[in-house]
Amino acid sequence: VSVVRINGKSAVLIDTIAVTAPVDAVSVAPDGKRALFTMRTINTVGMLHISGGTVTFSEDENIPVGIEPYNVAISPKGDIAIVSNAGVTGGNDGNADPVCVIDMTAAHPHIIDWITVGDGPEGFAFSPSGDMAVSVLINGSQNAAGNPTQHGRQTRTARSQFSRSTAKKSEK
């Protein structure tokens, strides 16, 4: 993981942190003290601790998540994070795939809920208030016409309301 200090329009590499496996996505907590990152090849989310210009990592804090974690985001409130899991084939296979909800308020963040959102969740974003997230689904859109997993060329969106205690899903 490369650590970059940004000052206005300039950016300088200040450190490189060795982690367990290749990194696919990263999200920094709103308070700037922690960051989560996905390691898709080992189905895990890692955590970085940030203090000033110092960033540290410990494998002991890795969080096992679903198969092929593709993306991660920490809510604007900093209380939860969501991780999209693309599944055994990396999504786009016609099977429903989940996002997991991580409790970021715990001493050791951990999964508190799973929400099945549909085929191949990739990108997503939290609302500014942090009480809703939108997950964009591949939904077979990369497959050729006639493939049984191809559901048209439109990407479906699953809108989910997340909290540390409940999760509700609606689909469009």
What's the pLDDT tens digit per position in 116-146?
887 777 778 888 988 888 877 776 666 667 7
Rg (CA), the chain: 17
What's the pLDDT tens digit per position in 150-160?
655 444 444 55
Indicate the pTM of the whole model.
0.83
Question: Measuring CA to CA, which residue among 43, 172, 56 is closest to residue 111?
Answer: 43
Q: Which DSSP state fits 61?
A: G
Those residues with Cβ within 8 angstroms of residue 52's Cβ, 6 or more apart along the chain or in another chain: none
Judge whether 43 and 67 are in contact, CB under 8 Å: yes
Tokens of 86: 């693309």
Q: How many CB atoms are closer than 10 A to CB 64? A: 12
The answer to whether residue 111 scores a pLDDT higher than 70 is yes
